[in-house]
Structure 1
């Protein structure tokens, strides 16, 4: 499969074929894409990661142009749905390198190394990815950095009915994450108002970022705290090893990361992240012009 992944990374995700994953893995990924269950989480193990350069060189992160792990990401993303990127985030790249960067230790994003609390990806966006994938290339030195996963479908069992009612109210706002504002000199207005919980009561979905989602009401703030506590109580921690790929339903499973200590010696923790979505409105597809990059938010604000 590695040779095929190396071919695809040069040809792009449009070259992915249905049989590019081994049958057993392909069926597991497809079932997850159809129904992510109670946990909203699937862990694949034993993927090949190939030869790797140092994570950093003279403080500059490695970029891995043409590396086969991008092809693996494309195969998995296309099995789940359609691989996408965002024009506002990392220049529209389809595969993101998640590495600690010198001087950014306290940033609440992939370049940091402090604890990163529960969140879904791109909480502020009307077209949030349906799935995210994280491929581990290299562990942190101390092998303590855990990917923390928590399901809203497990967490709601610990919340009072009155709290659930508040979380379903359209009274919450979500600020843009740092990955969308890194090069901006103006702080965008938060998205909202929106509910934090939505969908069927028996299979709820979530729009929540513990760092960025806020409420102007006392009841709303109390409900957000209760949700964060419930997510903590049902958290599962996974210390990913090289060759692991964590798949998350971005509407069901919030995720985070425990703290770790980077050394900037070329052997620091390194993941690759990708997104998959199962449908894009026709109006947005027309603006995308055949690409896989969701246009900048100002260009698509008319859809919500």
Structure 2
């Protein structure tokens, strides 16, 4: 990262962020060379990423010259620290074979968003403070390799969620629940229920307004699975707040309750400190968060979030023509 930043002006370096695919290709060459110096290679890192629920990279960038913590998802303030955080995120995703992507229906397609305390009252302000149970992101979108039966132009949900630490004064934990640990706590019949196409899956809160604007309605999957067998692995999509079953009793409801309990028991706590990058596998794990204290702004907690996806299989209808990274809807 130091080599790339070099003598570029701040504005020139920021301009590179507008094309994360190009920037990722540029940075991954340096990552590959450094790995070779250590006796490793990119294929080893990519194998590691696809056999674990998360990778924690401590002290991956320098959080320098920062303004006060913002109080909204967007925009990301332009500063040396946020520049390095974003470039390092793009490099980290590229190193495991992913392109950084966004979705037009969430935060107007911004590539990076602030995860911060928000002022006032209402859904987002309340949600920014409370703990979050285990979930996968963009839960109503199909997993990679599958299509939405009603809307085949929907792009897949991300393969990875990338969290970059800007501030974390109280050491708030991000929680990760490895799917293999969760499934080990379930009975075979419960796992079989979670693989059946019998669940209702709604758009998560940050996508709903954009979905209505772009599609004319909220996106809902009526008859979706929570578990999939893909590429010799079991993959997951799930959200405690946006996915469930109509019947309050019965095998499906019991399987969901057991799944949620197993997620809680399987949670691993990770502190994403300033300068850290946390890559969470959105197929092999769920993630959440403990309670966030303090007041918005100032020196309060601040993470940057981005998504990563293997994009080779995307078709033109799943992309926006005016962006190298924004996906439909």
Specify the alignment match of 1:52 in structure 2: 66
* Counterparts of 2:209 and 2:294, CA distance in 1: 21
* Counterparts of 2:78 and 2:231, CA distance in 1: 44
* Counterparts of 1:223 and 1:201, CA distance in 2: 24
Q: RMSD of the TM alignment (CA)?
A: 3.0
Q: Is the 8 A contact 1:55 1:61 kept in 2?
A: no
Specify the alignment match of 2:241 in structure 1: 211
Specify the alignment match of 2:206 in structure 1: 179
Does residue 64 in structure 1 map to residue 77 in structure 2? yes
* Aligned-partner SS, 2:286: strand
Q: Deviations for 1:116-165, whole angstroms, at most 9, x for unmatched residues?
A: 110011001121001111000000x433x110000111111110111011
Does residue 79 in structure 1 map to residue 95 in structure 2? yes
* Cα offset, 1:262, TM superposition: 2.5
* Aligned-partner SS, 1:272: strand
Specify the alignment match of 2:181 in structure 1: 154
Structure 2 unaligned spans of 5+: 143-155
Specify the alignment match of 1:36 in structure 2: 49
Counterpart pick for 2:23 among 15, 21, 24: 15
Counterpart pick for 1:133 among 153, 162, 174: 162
Give the aligned length: 292
Counterparts of 1:1-304 in structure 2, within 5 Å, are 1-2=1-2, 4-5=4-5, 8-11=13-16, 12-13=19-20, 14-16=22-24, 17=26, 18-21=28-31, 23-24=34-35, 31-36=44-49, 39-47=52-60, 48-56=62-70, 63-65=76-78, 67-80=83-96, 81-104=98-121, 107=124, 112-126=128-142, 127-139=156-168, 141-143=169-171, 145-182=172-209, 188-199=218-229, 203-217=233-247, 218=249, 219-284=251-316, 287-289=319-321, 291-296=324-329
* Cα offset, 1:28, TM superposition: 7.6
**Taking structure 2 as the reference length, what is the TM-score of the superposition?**
0.79
Q: Is the 8 A contact 1:131 1:250 kept in 2?
A: yes
* Cα offset, 1:51, TM superposition: 1.4
Q: Is the 8 A contact 2:117 2:295 kept in 1?
A: no
* Counterparts of 1:108 and 1:263, CA distance in 2: 11
* Counterparts of 1:29 and 1:131, CA distance in 2: 17
Higher mean C-alpha displacement, 196-205 vs 225-234: 196-205
* Aligned-partner SS, 1:158: coil
Q: Is the 8 A contact 1:122 1:128 kept in 2?
A: yes
Specify the alignment match of 1:300 in structure 2: none
Q: Is the 8 A contact 2:208 2:219 kept in 1?
A: no
Q: Is the 8 A contact 1:43 1:246 kept in 2?
A: yes
* Aligned-partner SS, 1:228: helix
**Taking structure 1 as the reference length, what is the TM-score of the superposition?**
0.85
Q: Is the 8 A contact 2:74 2:107 kept in 1?
A: no
